[in-house]
Amino acid sequence: MGRFMTCSRQGDDRLTEHSSRPYPPNLPSEIRSALGRFYDYAFLSQHPLLGRVCGPTGGSSSSRAVQNLRRALIDAIERLHPKVDTADSDPAWRPYLVLHHRYILGKEWEEVASELGLSVRQLQREQSRALEAIATDLWEQWGAGDGNAEEPAGGALWQEISRVAEAKQAFDAGPQIERAIASLEALADRFGVAIRSVRPAAHAVVGDPTLYRQLIVAMLSYAIRRMALGSTLTVDLRSAPHHAVCTLRAGELTAPREELRMENLPEAVTALAQAQNAEIDVSGGADGWTLSIRSVAAERTRVVALVEDNQDMVALFSRILSAAGYHLVGFSDSEAVVERLADLMPDAIVLDVMMRGVDGWEILQQLKADPRTQQIPVAICSVLDEPELARSLGADSYILKPVRPARLQSCLAELFHET
């Protein structure tokens, strides 16, 4: 344990004091969300904790504010450090080590559990204790002086965004836009607005697919409520240098022109855009109103498409491939996936076999029969032990489930001729 820094206030004392002062009920979850994205500058620069650390100017995007927040969190974790003479086997170490390993060193839960000899459930209980202690500690410094436990402006929204946000990944924006449009059809009918979607080609963007979809939903809802009866809202997705741009074009409006300005956009739109590191632009004229989102496009090098209807597998692949420097684009609908893959033109395809609707064997045959996709290397990934069948249908490699990270990476290295 000697490799960890000690400090003057002892961690076991902090853990016994956490009930002595009140703090806002969502402060521990705010602290957890900030730790979860500790090295994500864009996320931290808009985090509600900045207002607590730096006062009224804390919400600015200055690097100093983010540095102050990171330093405050690191210092609070270090104040959980047990006394110097605490035995290595003493449970007093657990809250400190859980936070230090999980968030400062960025290790996965399973890795921390293995190192500390605990179950993931035990680690999460220790994390809850530690977060409560840190919340009390920081509230003494930030907010307890006036006895007021009010939430900063926008805190509830950012807390909800933090709750659903996952690690950034590359994903196809097109299906997220289509799902958002489907969610708004009933609202559009109620307001007498038609939504016309220009079927988007596959565009790999970097971010969180859930937050991206909610951003599109918020934008569509905002536009629909301000459009005239019988008007049409057109949605399309196009490429720009290093970006993918989703554009909403509204015709006749009922809202005053001055209402349709950047500063008057709903907080949900601006917060979701900030969480996605996306840029919003609003423009209007005599012929209508345009609102566009510029999202960061995934680099075209080493884009891997995963055709898999199990979202747990998609999340696993995303973690493995992100750590290895690849961008993953997941496809869960096997029915129309060949067209999507032909639009995306990934560097490699990893294909599950047992899927609803069209199975992987059929998709593999379609890919190899289509001149647009027949040169893309394909790896079959399945619980079925059929490597010879896969090779006979044109697959370039085979991965047997359950997937081991080392095997997946070596398979991709083979596909990219890096071995």
Q: Which of 270, 296, 322 is the last residue of a domain?
A: 296
- 269 and 152 inside one domain: no
- 288 and 319 inside one domain: no
Kindly report the average pLDDT of the chain as a whole number: 79
321: Cα separation from own chain's centroid? 15
Distance, in Å, from the CA atom of 210 to the CA atom of 311, rounded to the nearest integer, reads: 13
Instruction: Output the domain CATH number for residue 215.
Output: 3.30.565.10
* The token pair that represents 2 in the structure block: 């000697």
Q: Which domain holds residue 265?
A: 169-296
Residue 340 within a domain: yes
Distance, in Å, from the CA atom of 299 to the CA atom of 327, rounded to the nearest integer, reads: 8
The set of residues, in sequence order, having a beta carbon less than 8 Å from that of 305 and lying 6+ positions away, is 328, 329, 330, 331, 341, 344, 346, 348, 349, 350
What's the full length of the chain, in residues?
A: 419
| Cα angle, residue 172 at apex, residues 38 and 306 outer, rounded to 5° | 90
Q: Which of 278, 296, 314 is the last residue of a domain?
A: 296
The set of residues, in sequence order, having a beta carbon less than 8 Å from that of 58 and lying 6+ positions away, is 49, 50, 51, 52, 65, 69
Q: Which amino acid is at 383?
A: V
Residue 3 within a domain: no
Residue 5 within a domain: no
Instruction: Output the domain CATH number for residue 363.
Output: 3.40.50.2300
- 188 and 62 inside one domain: no
Give the side-chain half-sphere CA count within 13 A for 108.
Answer: 7
pLDDT grade, residue 305 (50/70/90)? very high
Q: Are 236 and 200 in contact (CB under 8 A)?
A: yes
Residue 48 within a domain: yes
- 116 and 233 inside one domain: no
- 15 and 156 inside one domain: yes
198 membership: H or E segment, kind and range: none
Residue 214 within a domain: yes
**Ranges 44-58, 296-310, 313-327, 336-350: which has the least confidence:** 44-58
Distance, in Å, from the CA atom of 385 to the CA atom of 387, rounded to the nearest integer, reads: 6
Q: Are 102 and 112 in contact (CB under 8 A)?
A: yes
**The pairing of beta strand 194-197 with beta strand 169-172:** unpaired
pLDDT one-digit tens code per residue, 135-154: 888 887 765 444 444 444 45
Q: Alpha carbon of 217 to those of 187, 203, 224, 233, 361: distances in Å?
A: 11, 18, 10, 13, 35
Q: Which of the pair, 6 or 149, is modelled with greater confidence? A: 149
Q: Which of 126-140, 164-178, 228-242, 357-371 has the highest mean pLDDT?
A: 357-371
Q: Which of the pair, 226 or 362, is modelled with greater confidence? A: 362
Q: Are 187 and 233 in contact (CB under 8 A)?
A: no
Q: Does 44 have pLDDT greater than 50?
A: yes
Residue 143 within a domain: yes
**What pLDDT is recorded for position 62?**
53
Q: Which of the pair, 368 or 22, is modelled with greater confidence? A: 368
**What pLDDT is recorded for position 258?**
63
Q: Alpha carbon of 367 to those of 338, 343, 362: distances in Å?
A: 7, 12, 9
Per-residue burial over 275-308, b if 16 or more Cβ lie within 10 Å, else e, is bbbbebeeeeeeebbbbbbbbbbbeeebbbbbbb
- CA-nearest of 298, 334, 339, 152 to 212 is 298
Q: Are 51 and 152 in contact (CB under 8 A)?
A: yes
Residue 332 within a domain: yes
Reported pTM: 0.46
* Percent of the chain residues past pLDDT 70, beyond the cut: 79
DSSP 232-256: EEEEEEEEETTEEEEEEEE-SB-S-
Mean pLDDT, residues 223-251 taken together: 86
| φ, ψ for residue 73, nearest 5 deg | -70, -45
Strand order in the sheet with 279-285: 194-197, 232-240, 243-250, 288-296, 279-285
- 108 and 192 inside one domain: no
- 34 and 151 inside one domain: yes
Q: Which of the pair, 156 or 349, is modelled with greater confidence? A: 349
- CA-nearest of 413, 412, 348 to 377 is 348
Domains of the chain: total: 3
- 316 and 398 inside one domain: yes
- 259 and 308 inside one domain: no
Distance, in Å, from the CA atom of 283 to the CA atom of 118, rounded to the nearest integer, reads: 55
Q: Which of 101, 129, 163 is the last residue of a domain?
A: 163
Distance, in Å, from the CA atom of 88 to the CA atom of 2, rounded to the nearest integer, reads: 9
- 251 and 314 inside one domain: no
pLDDT one-digit tens code per residue, 76-98: 888 888 887 788 788 888 888 88
- 46 and 128 inside one domain: yes
DSSP-based helix, strand, coil % in the chain, nearest 5 = 50, 15, 35
- 209 and 140 inside one domain: no
Residue 132 within a domain: yes
Q: Are 169 and 328 in contact (CB under 8 A)?
A: yes
Distance, in Å, from the CA atom of 120 to the CA atom of 116, rounded to the nearest integer, reads: 10
